[in-house]
């Protein structure tokens, strides 16, 4: 299957049946993503009578130039390309997300495959060139004869990203809708990888990503961002969108971010949140960040003293918090007083009828809300903990610190 | 509002300001690098006070150009090479990057010239100082924490006050200096190719092309957005003023001593420093040498790595000192070559250090208009800058600077320049 490069098409002469001299030059190659996101829909041709749109259905062949089978006078006038993806303007030299490689790359060139359809040519976008081949071609096009260029290309290793793995970034929300840019592939990556990608983008593009991603994915990604970026991103969103995302975050992470933001913005976001989530986050915000209380989450699994293993499993099914908090199930009594804790492994191994209190571990390290970070880290290390309950003077369970919080804390010092 | 809340707001405002101070000030200080010091010294020695009139218009132009850079960085969140790539395509970016590498190579050579000659004043051979400095810089930038080093250099930037002190101690004719600052010379002066050469060098060293790329990238890296940008503006303006005041004093110091006593050509730092010796005391002499060394080392730590970043980002290569060598080959090779080849040039026997340094600044001046043209085209695009496009006066000043620099270059060639 012969393959063309976009850089070869741009500026190529266009011929119609009227004669042997070109009627114009290709200025743009356009796709209509709502109809077919992979195939070229039309060429924008610059003719002596202005810019015209040459539909792909009228294209016979591409050899030495684009050969159309209808006269130039019959082509429609080009009216601005609303709803069209213009490859030279929107893709060439722009940044795109390489979902497979999990990074942001710049487009050097685009590889297009030619196929012969029933009565016209089919041009399919096959891959984006982000390597030396594309760079060389762009640099030497028109300067070095085509044959010599082709033999040079053979020697350079190709660095291609298949079109299926490409996610486009579009900062204009109206165009995003028109072009159906949904970042589906990006959202399937691990939030930490999405965060890495997002950190490489400029602010406008970053905002666009957070406006497009699903709230849950956006929340998890936000949690993985550098704190300064977290603030910057949340401040750039509308307060109701920001509130939607904050609601989906772990309350302790949410409290940290909101605490770093200017008070007026924090208030705006809090007002837009659902009352339950707002109360949780507001409560955590009252604690000093570098104490045990500042690190804990209020989303953990806790059951009453009489509960059985089957109740725990049921609760697990409905648990909304992060996976880190479920490694230990806590048992509480009156007024949320901490009575016992059961590692998840024991729950898995026991029969459904077993009372939870029976499985509770004998030793139960706990920590006071006012304790400093050093004490927290020491306890985690000493007792090889995954989670640590935070209890106040009356023995009431107020929150849980998880291992990832501690690693976060320690990395800040490394 | 509660007391603690109010305190928090103030703390936040202070942090924003402190976080934002830096890029403009650093850029401006690195501006007074070895190339700068030699150029200003030679300007004073060769022409006395006759070049001082350039200072004020040049400072205005510098402030305008730097502010444009900072504004573009804050509003678009992208570096200059990224913007050129996105708006003008691969080929143009490639040639701009090529030009930048060539220009910056010249600047790196000048930095090592500064290191070599400043330490030679303390009798350290250049064959020791240059390789040692090169290796030290390489390791600190690649392996070490550049951020903490940056703070050391910034603190040491107060050495620049030494030039001001040296200038005062040299006992210049203040009246003549002030008059010359405000009065341009007569037309005949512009037919002297050596005079034109020096003007191009002085402007080239003050408004160096690499600075625009560096400043914009620093602003982006600090995460300064259109909103916090106002504080950055002050950082930029104050930096520019400080740098040019120091420059003025260097010219005046050399004019008052070397020129007046007939020493019209400076061959190395010793010549420039010697002038201060008998008239003032040992202290000024040592400060001058220390200041030159600090400036050169600081610039040598910033310039090559900044060039490597700019070129790799513009052309789409992997970049970053946090990447392993194998992951970012072009980046590491470019950086290493720039640094060590620059140093190697200085080790060539009998190389005229001052002449080469001044030549490198002339190259800056010749390339400057091209960078300015791109900046002007970009900063006036409303799709890019929104309501932060250039105001009329900024456009006038920046375009005037561009045209004048092109004019000066042509005039210089025409008047028999090109040694």
| Domain regions of chain B by residue span | 31-414
Q: Which of residues 68-87 of A touch B (CB under 8 A)?
A: none
CATH 3.40.50.1820 fits A182-286, yes or no: no
Helix axes A239-248, A263-272, angle to 10 degrees: 70
Q: How far apart are CA A322 and CA A220, in angstroms?
A: 10
> If you count residue pairs, one on A and one on B, with CB atoms under 8 Å apart, how many are there?
41
What is the pLDDT, as a whole number, of residue B234? 84
Which residues in chain A have their CB less than 8 angstroms from residue B9's CB?
A: 262-263
Q: Which of residues 224-263 of B touch A (CB under 8 A)?
A: 225
Closest residue to A106, CB basis, from B12, B77, B85: B85
Q: Which secondary structure element, helix H or strand E, spans residue B216, and what is its range?
A: helix B209-221
Instruction: Say whether B90 and A204 touch across the interface (CB within 8 A).
Output: no
Instruction: Say whether A93 and B86 touch across the interface (CB within 8 A).
Output: yes
Nearest residue to A392 (alpha-carbon basis) of A276, A277, A296, A289 = A296
Q: How far apart are CA B156 and CA B390, in angstroms?
A: 35
DSSP code at position A91:
I
Closest residue to B77, CB basis, from A92, A204, A228: A204
What is the pLDDT, as a whole number, of residue B279? 47
**Segments in B352-391 forming alpha helices (H):** 353-379, 382-385
Which residues in chain A have their CB less than 8 angstroms from residue B223's CB?
A: 228-229, 232
* Residue of A106, A160, A236 to mutate when probing chain B, most B C-beta within 10 A: A106
Which residues in chain B have their CB less than 8 angstroms from residue A262's CB?
A: 9, 12
Instruction: Say whether B91 and A139 touch across the interface (CB within 8 A).
Output: yes
Q: How far apart are CA A269 and CA A258, in angstroms?
A: 9
pLDDT tens track of chain A, all 414 residues? 468 899 989 989 999 888 888 889 999 999 988 888 899 999 999 988 889 999 988 888 888 888 888 888 888 888 887 888 999 988 999 998 888 888 888 999 999 999 888 888 899 999 999 988 889 889 888 788 877 888 888 888 888 999 888 888 888 877 887 777 778 888 889 999 999 999 888 888 899 999 989 999 999 999 999 888 899 899 889 888 999 999 999 888 899 899 888 888 899 999 999 998 888 888 888 887 778 888 888 888 889 888 888 988 888 888 877 777 788 899 998 888 998 899 888 888 989 898 988 888 888 899 998 888 889 999 999 988 899 999 988 889 988 998 888 888 888 777
CB of B9 within 8 Å of a chain A CB? The answer is: yes
Q: Indicate the class that CATH gives domain A302-413.
A: alpha beta
What is the pLDDT, as a whole number, of residue B280? 52
**A65 Rama sector, left if φ>0, alpha if ψ -120 to 50, beta otherwise:** left
Question: Between β-strands A302-304 and A328-332, what pairing exists: parallel, antiparallel or unpaired?
Answer: parallel
In the CATH scheme, what is the code of domain B31-414? 1.20.1740.10
Sheet holding A109-116, edge to edge: A3-5, A109-116, A121-129, A160-162
What is the pLDDT, as a whole number, of residue A1? 45
What is the pLDDT, as a whole number, of residue B15? 59
Closest residue to A232, CB basis, from B12, B85, B223: B223
What is the pLDDT, as a whole number, of residue B250? 86
CB of A139 within 8 Å of a chain B CB? The answer is: yes
Alpha carbon B39 to its chain's center: 12
Q: For chain B, what is the radius of gyration of the CA atoms?
A: 21
CB of A94 within 8 Å of a chain B CB? The answer is: yes
DSSP code at position A355:
B
**Segments in B32-173 forming alpha helices (H):** 34-47, 55-76, 80-120, 126-142, 146-156, 161-169
Instruction: Say whether A262 and B9 touch across the interface (CB within 8 A).
Output: yes
Those residues with Cβ within 8 angstroms of residue B234's Cβ, 6 or more apart along the chain or in another chain: none
- Residues of chain B short of pLDDT 70, as ranges, are 1-21, 145-149, 274-285, 417-419
What is the pLDDT, as a whole number, of residue A37? 86
Closest residue to A93, CB basis, from B76, B89, B225: B89
What is the pLDDT, as a whole number, of residue B185? 83
End-to-end CA distance of chain A: 53
Q: How far apart are CA B337 and CA A223, in angstroms?
A: 40
User: Residue ranges of the domains in chain A?
Assistant: 3-163, 182-286, 302-413
Q: How far apart are CA A100 and CA A201, in angstroms?
A: 17
Q: How far is B199 from chain A (nearest CA, A)?
A: 35
Q: How far apart are CA A31 and CA A87, in angstroms?
A: 8
**Segments in A93-166 forming alpha helices (H):** 132-140, 146-155
What is the pLDDT, as a whole number, of residue B260? 79
């Amino acid at each position: 299957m012969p393959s063309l490069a976009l850089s070869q098409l741009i500026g190529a002469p266009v011929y119609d049946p009227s004669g042997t001299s070109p009627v114009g030059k290709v200025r743009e190659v356009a796709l209509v993503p709502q109809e077919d996101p992979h195939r070229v829909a039309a060429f924008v041709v610059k003719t002596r009578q202005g810019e015209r749109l040459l539909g792909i259905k009228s294209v016979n062949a591409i050899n030495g130039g684009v050969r159309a089978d209808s006269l130039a006078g019959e082509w429609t006038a080009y009216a601005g390309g609303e709803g069209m993806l213009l490859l030279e303007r929107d893709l060439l030299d722009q940044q795109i997300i390489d979902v497979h490689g999990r990074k942001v790359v710049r487009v050097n060139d685009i590889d297009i495959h030619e196929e012969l359809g029933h009565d016209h040519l089919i041009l399919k976008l096959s891959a984006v060139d982000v390597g030396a081949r594309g760079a060389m071609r762009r640099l030497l096009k028109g300067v070095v004869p085509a044959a010599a260029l082709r033999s040079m290309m053979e020697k350079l290793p190709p660095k291609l990203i298949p079109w299926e793995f490409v996610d486009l970034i579009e900062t204009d929300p109206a165009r995003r809708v028109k072009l159906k840019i949904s970042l589906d592939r990006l959202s399937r990556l691990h939030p930490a990888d999405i965060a890495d990608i997002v950190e490489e983008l400029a602010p406008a593009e970053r905002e666009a990503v957070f406006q497009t991603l699903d709230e849950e994915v956006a929340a998890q990604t936000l949690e993985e961002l550098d704190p300064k970026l977290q603030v910057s991103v949340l401040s750039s969103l509308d307060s109701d969108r920001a509130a939607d995302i904050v609601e989906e975050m772990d309350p302790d992470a949410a409290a940290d971010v909101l605490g770093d933001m200017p008070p007026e913005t924090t208030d705006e976001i809090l007002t837009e949140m659902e009352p339950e989530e707002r109360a949780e986050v507001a409560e955590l915000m009252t604690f000093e960040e570098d104490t045990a209380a500042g690190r804990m989450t209020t989303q953990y699994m806790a059951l009453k003293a009489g509960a059985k293993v089957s109740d725990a499993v049921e609760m697990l099914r409905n648990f909304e918090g992060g996976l880190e908090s479920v490694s230990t199930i806590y048992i509480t009594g009156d007024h949320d007083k901490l009575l016992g804790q059961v590692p998840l492994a024991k729950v898995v191994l026991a029969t459904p009828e077993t009372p939870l209190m029976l499985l509770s571990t004998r030793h139960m390290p706990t920590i006071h809300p006012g304790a400093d970070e050093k004490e927290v880290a020491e306890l985690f290390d000493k007792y090889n903990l995954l989670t640590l309950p935070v209890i106040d003077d009356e023995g009431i369970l107020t929150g849980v610190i998880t291992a990832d919080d501690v690693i976060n804390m320690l990395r800040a010092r490394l | 509002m509660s007391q603690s809340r109010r305190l928090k707001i103030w703390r936040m405002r202070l942090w924003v300001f402190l976080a934002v101070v830096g890029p403009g000030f650093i850029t401006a200080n690195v501006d007074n690098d070895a190339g700068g010091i030699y150029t200003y010294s030679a300007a004073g020695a060769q022409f006395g006070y006759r070049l001082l009139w350039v200072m004020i218009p040049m400072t205005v132009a510098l402030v305008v150009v730097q502010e444009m850079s900072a504004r573009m960085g804050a509003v678009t969140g992208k570096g200059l090479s990224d913007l050129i790539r996105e708006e003008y395509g691969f080929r143009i970016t490639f040639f701009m990057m090529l030009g930048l590498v060539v220009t910056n190579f010249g600047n790196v050579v000048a930095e090592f010239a500064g290191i070599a000659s400043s330490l030679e004043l303390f009798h350290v051979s250049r064959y020791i100082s240059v390789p040692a400095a090169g290796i030290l810089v390489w390791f600190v930038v690649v392996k070490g924490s550049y951020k903490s080093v940056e703070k050391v250099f910034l603190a040491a930037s107060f050495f620049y006050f030494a030039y001001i002190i040296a200038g005062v101690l040299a006992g210049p004719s203040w009246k003549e200096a002030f008059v010359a600052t405000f009065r341009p010379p007569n037309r005949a002066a512009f037919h002297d190719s050596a005079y034109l050469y020096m003007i191009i060098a002085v402007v080239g060293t003050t408004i160096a092309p690499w600075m625009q790329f560096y400043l914009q990238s620093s602003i982006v890296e600090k995460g300064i957005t259109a909103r916090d940008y106002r504080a950055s503006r002050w950082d930029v303006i104050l930096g520019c003023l400080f740098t040019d005041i120091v420059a003025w004093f260097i010219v005046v110091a050399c004019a008052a001593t070397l020129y007046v006593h007939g020493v019209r050509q400076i061959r190395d730092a010793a010549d420039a420093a010697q002038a201060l010796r008998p008239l003032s005391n040992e202290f000024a002499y040592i400060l001058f040498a220390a200041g030159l060394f600090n400036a050169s080392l600081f610039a040598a730590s910033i310039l090559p790595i900044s060039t490597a970043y700019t070129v790799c980002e513009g052309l789409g290569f992997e970049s970053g000192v946090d990447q392993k060598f194998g992951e970012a080959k072009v980046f590491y090779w470019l950086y290493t070559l720039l640094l060590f080849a620059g140093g190697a040039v200085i080790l060539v026997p009998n190389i005229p250090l001052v002449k080469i340094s001044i030549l490198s600044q002339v190259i800056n001046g010749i390339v400057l208009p091209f960078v300015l043209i791109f900046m002007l085209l970009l900063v006036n695009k409303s799709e890019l800058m929104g309501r932060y496009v250039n105001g009329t006066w900024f456009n006038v000043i920046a375009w005037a600077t561009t045209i004048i620099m092109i004019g000066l270059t042509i005039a210089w060639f025409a008047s028999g320049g090109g040694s």
